Each structure stands twice: as C-alpha cells, then as structure tokens.
Amino acid sequence: MAKEPMLKFIDVARDMPQKRDPDMRRADFDEIYTEYAKAKAAEQASRCSQCGVPYCQSHCPLHNNIPDWLRLTAQGRLQEAYELSQATNTFPEICGRICPQDRLCEGNCVIEQSGHGTVTIGSVEKYITDTAWEKGWVLPISPAVERSESVGIIGAGPGGLAAADVLRRQGVQVTVYDRYDRAGGLLTYGIPGFKLEKDIVMKRIDQLRDGGVEFVLNCNVGEDLSFDAIRGKHDAVLIATGVYESRDLNALGSGSEGVVRAIDYLTASNRKSFGDEVPEFDSGELNAEGKRVVVIGGGDTAMDCVRTAIRQGAESVKCLYRRDRENMPGSLREVTNAEEEGVQFVWLSGPKGFDSNGDEVTAVIVQKMHLGAPDASGRQSPEVIPDADYIEEADLVIKALGFLPEDLPTLWGVPELEVTRWGTVKADFQTHATNLDGVYACGDIQRGASLVVWAIRDGREAAAAMLEYITAATSVAAE
C-alpha cells in the first residue's frame, strides 16, 4: 500500500516561497516571491490535514475544492489539480497572487488554529496554474455548440470577464464594452505589477478574445454608446462596471496641487509599465520620485500606493491610518512587505488639513487619535485626541480612502434602473437580476468595493442566471 502523502503538518514546517531581497524589490516592479519548485509545492501541499469540515473551502468565496487539489499536488498529479482548481475559479493564477489568503482560506486553516502554521494555499494555487500555462494544459475556449443568443457585458474587470468566460464556453455570443483602452479593469490598471504581472492578465484576455469574445474598448456608455442601444442589441445585459468614484476629503487644503487620488496615481504607474505615454507621470504630477510621500488610508489600495511610491524612488513614504495595525482592513501580509521595503506606518492618525505654498501642498496637518467605543460594526471608533496635532511635511499626498459607485441611472439616462441608498445597483444576490427585464449586475457595482475573488464569484453566478434567462426566452419564442 502506498504511503499516505498527506497529514505531514506535524513533521513538515510551513514554508512560503522565498522573497527577493527588499533592496532588489525596491528597484523594480517584478513580483516579490520566487516560484515554488515542484518538490517544494508537493511538500507544502502534503501538510494539508484533509479535515472533515474544510474551513478553507467554506471561507473561500468561490468555494474552491482546496483539499482535493492540494492532495493531487502532493501526489504529483498537477494537471488534474489544475483542472479541479479551474472548475470553480475562472482565474486561479490571479487569485493565487492577489487574494488576501491570510483573511480567507489560509486564515481559517484548521492546522493554523492548532498552532502548526497554515498550509500555503495561495502559493500552491499560483504554482499549479503557472505550471498549467507552461505545460499547455490551459485549453482554448471552444464551445461544443454555437448559440444565436447574445449577451452584452458592460465592464471588462474581473466580474465581467468571469461572466464572459462562463457564457462563451456555453456558446453564447458575448460582447464586452469597457471605457479603457485595455481590458482587465483594476487587474490591468489598478493593481501594481509586483502583485500581479500584467502578462498574466493579458494571457487570460487573449484567451477570451481568441475564444470568440468581442471587446469594444474606449467605449464610455452614456457618451459613445447609449445603454438602451446595448440593451436593444443583446438578449441580456450584465452591468459589471466596478466602482471608480473616489471617496474624498473635505479637509482644508484638500484641493491643493499634489493631493491626488489613488486611482489616478496607480493607473499612471501601470500605464508606464505598458510603455504608454503618460504626461501626468512625465511632468512629475503622478510620479513619487524624490518626493516625501504621504498616503492616507489603510486598505489594499493604500498598500499598493505606498509600495509603488517606494519603487518610484520616493525620498520617504509614510502611511497614515486612523486605527491601529490590528484593525486595519488591508492585508497584514502586505503591511509586512511594505515595512520591509521602507514604508513607515503612522497608526492612529489622520489628516485634519493640508498646508500649501501657493497652490502646491507642502504638509499634512495630522491629528492623533485613540480607539473609543465600538461602532455599529463592532470595531472601535477612532476619536481625536485634543491638542495633539502635528505637521508632516509632504510633496505628494495620495488619498486611498476607498471607492463609491458612479450615478449610473443619471450617467446612462436610465432613471428606471433601481439603486440602493449607497448608490450600488439593486440586484438579487443569487440571480443578480435587476428590476429591468434581462438586465443583471455583479461585482463591486452591486456589492460595493470588495475583493476580486467576490467579483469572480458574482460574475460566474450572474452568467449562470443569464444563461437560464436567455434559454427560457428562446424556448418561449420557439413555441
């Protein structure tokens, strides 16, 4: 009988892929982790306890069959592991890189709770899919039967692309409309290359395009093409625009030059990585080189900004967050990476206003805080400490305060489209159907700013509901 390849967590220690030296990382936008070797991936996968109730799977938004593909990896059956991973996740190589595993699957690993250190699920997932691309196991999209029905998807981010993949594999004719010149949404222009290399995203987009998905880029719905025109052209429509309206500050001096939005800053940096002409970067407006940079916020976008500024050659980079390390929303793994690279975190602090020399920002007026009573969510609310303000000199201030939905009913001229009191599109959280017949919504524009993995789940669910809808409509028309 073959020896059991699993349950080795007692004898085998947790071992993440090796990080490149921080000095090397600061000099480029390459990924910071090296790749697992085959033996190391199998070894780390073998630590899985194969528990009866896999909390890693239940806490994954996609409910990926993690224990089984870990077992297959430990057995050296990598192609089967990839196929199992791909069955529930449209983009496993992307999730393996950018999911906050420390808060999801790995954070709920049973052996972590028993003190043995979690299985390195994300790194193994990345290894499996990178190997699949290298070996040619990622097959082209080739529907068994072509269907006449068509679907229009507004937004080429993770939710829209996941839906496009599911629908196209079923033979549906799919057209994706997006405001940018490249598909991918925040995967392309929001997340820096050191977390998600752009060739990884482009390979998936090429797979969709080669599989028959049509992309209509540089298309602003409501300006270049009306929503009604898209709706009239297709049998069903999916709204997957994401949320791009930045939260702002009303503090004194927040309109000064040098106080910029995170989305503008990150987009400029990512465009440069593609070799694009970016006047705002070349002029120094959205370039941190040689500057004292202050980033305001504590989420993953803030982490992307501080680590990008380091790589651009900032003189110093500080991150202001109004709560403490334990209460920040961003990945603690990302905080550690940022600290290693030279970022300084200033906890329990926030901006009161901004000083300027004429029109240009020169400093942030910082107010110190402490944590008071819990708010409605159960988190302790930050409270200002009187007379504890101080001045933090700054040449570039980046606001990473989160995102809000745009006013789609007004922008698109469809006042009948129902939205919630937060401005998100009102849709069923199982079928993703809106109040308009044949119109669906998924991802951040439905649930608010959230994780890529949730957008992928929403896109897959919406695609299944849309497929059911157009199939029923076609059956009725044929009677």
Look at residues 56, 52, 68, 143 and name the one whose alpha carbon lies nearest to residue 99. 56
Q: Which amino acid is at 216?
A: V
**CB atoms closer than 10 angstroms to residue 301:** 26
pLDDT reported for residue 2: 45
Q: Which pLDDT score is estimated for 16?
A: 85
Q: Which domains does the chain have, with CATH numbers?
A: 22-135 (1.10.1060.10), 150-243+406-478 (3.50.50.60), 248-403 (3.50.50.60)
Longest dimension (CA), the chain: 79
**Are the CB atoms for 123 and 477 separated by under 8 Å?**
no
> What is the pTM (predicted TM-score) of this model?
0.94
Which pLDDT value is given to residue 62? 97
Residue 386 tokens read as: 């009187």
Which amino acid is it at 291? K
- N- to C-terminal Cα separation, the chain: 59
Block means of pLDDT (10 residues each) for the chain, 479 residues, are: 63 86 96 90 93 93 96 96 97 95 92 86 96 96 97 98 98 98 97 96 98 98 97 98 92 94 98 97 97 96 97 98 91 93 98 94 97 86 95 98 96 98 97 98 97 97 98 79
Residue 7 confidence (pLDDT):
67
